[in-house]
Amino acid sequence: MPTGALILALLLAQTAPASPQAAAPAEIRQSPPAATGSVVPAPATAAAAMPASPATADATDLPAAVEAVPDPGFVLLGRRVEPGTRTRVNWRSGATFIGDPMQVPINVVHGAKPGPVLCLTGAIHGDELNGVEVIRRVLGALDPTELVGTVIGVPIVNMAGFSRGSRYLPDRRDLNRFFPGNPNGSSASRIAFDFFDQVACRCDAIVDFHTGSFDRANLPQVRGDLRLSRVVELTRGFGATSVLHTPGAAGMLRRAATDAGIPAVTFEIGAPVRLEPIEIEHGVSAIETLMNNLGMTQRVRQWREPQPIFYESRWVRVTRPGMLFSDVKLGDRVRQGQRLGRVINPLNDEASELVSPVRGRILGMALNQVVLPGYAAFHVGEEASEAQVIRDAARTPAPNEEAESMDEGVAAPLEEGSTEQVEDYTPESEPE
Ligand SMILES: [Zn+2]
């Protein structure tokens, strides 16, 4: 069976129940997260109806079963979207200081034919802009009369952070470590809860857009917990895009989603604060390829390398303080032992070199800046087969925990002298 048909089968298998409102958010939010790495979600989640083994899904039976149910329209946040139309609804995300609700626009394109619900979320970190534009372009180009299924686009989840040009919520909390949230918790926790309950739980698959954090840039790359077969299926759909295994720490949207049985990945694109046309175009092409592979659209994008490229990765850290000057560019292929950059101390002229520990590709890197020892400067990926990456993912519980924590918003283990200590949110200070 082609990959696309299989993915569609998996997603439709979840949407097959008679009511498109089959998700049970009230139950999901009260379910404790499943254990890390659990493929089968805890009972009483929306995904309880999913086949335990994806291999049992049979694409040939599904369309007829779905078409037998007349489409009553797609309801989100109390608004009904008729088949073959699009609309914009507002999600109320907390309140401003003067008491007005913070309105976050969400675009819904409900296709003329039933199918999976794909959610695209951006700017959970308010200063990460590339994904905002990817989502705008993807949603704008969709034809609801041709679309199979539904696409929900939330270009700016963290509107408060975005409007201030900040990664964080106004209280300095990182929204991407509070999912699935708590209706009685902190401001961040309530916002996370409401979004997860009202929007995320309506999705059959979620792609959450991010960029590198703190003056780092990432080659476009999909990150997911490759110990979960349905996440692996999803990562196969993005065309010629790098794929990394990162399990996802507690509090991330994608982790909360997979704990609730919804396959979800992070799509890292470029650097924060900037709008980068080449990276944005890659993101648009990848999502259009994904929708095509999911059977939602007919358009076929042309890729020179149509297959995803799986990587094992490691970070190269700064050993001496100073000013970082890179020798390499994002995406460069490097040799083992090749110099990646130098750190020059302006006070005593001392220079130290950073070299690649492996033959690989620069998947992420710091922009030239002042650095302290321990700062993660280069993220080098070694190409590996999908099977190898999945095997290693199963063996090592959290090989990239720290790498993703830097980009996706969970505090890294603190190291003396590292800039993460200064910039990352410290979990110990969170009262919940
Ligand atoms: Zn981010």
* All CATH 2.40.50.100 domain ranges in the chain, comma separated: 312-396+405-429
- Cβ neighbourhood burial of 102 (10 Å; 0-12, 13-18, 19+): middle
Residue 125 C-alpha to ligand 1 middle, in angstroms? 5
- What's the predicted TM-score (pTM) here? 0.79
> What fold is seen in the domain 312-396+405-429?
OB fold (Dihydrolipoamide Acetyltransferase, E2P) (2.40.50)
- Work out the pLDDT band at 7, boundaries 50, 70, 90: low
Residue 410 C-alpha to ligand 1 middle, in angstroms? 10
* All CATH 3.40.630.10 domain ranges in the chain, comma separated: 3-69+114-293
Predicted confidence (pLDDT) per residue in 398-432, tens digit: 544 455 455 655 443 322 222 222 233 333 322 22
How far apart are alpha carbons 362 and 36 in whole angstroms?
A: 29
Residue 28 C-alpha to ligand 1 middle, in angstroms? 24
CB-side exposure of 334: number of CA atoms within 13 Å?
Answer: 29
Indicate if the pLDDT at residue 29 is higher than 70. no
- Work out the pLDDT band at 125, boundaries 50, 70, 90: very high
- Looking at residue 305, its pLDDT comes to 55
- Cβ neighbourhood burial of 343 (10 Å; 0-12, 13-18, 19+): buried
Give the residue from 417, 317, 425, 396 showing the smallest Cα distance to 364. Answer: 317
- Looking at residue 46, its pLDDT comes to 33
Beta strand 351-355 with 322-326 is unpaired
How far apart are alpha carbons 402 and 406 in whole angstroms?
A: 6
Residue 366 C-alpha to ligand 1 middle, in angstroms? 15
> Hey, which CATH number is domain 3-69+114-293, 3.30.565.10, 2.10.109.10, 3.40.630.10, 3.90.320.10?
3.40.630.10
Residue 212 C-alpha to ligand 1 middle, in angstroms? 7
Residue 167 C-alpha to ligand 1 middle, in angstroms? 8
Predicted confidence (pLDDT) per residue in 71-102, tens digit: 889 999 999 999 999 999 999 987 777 777 88
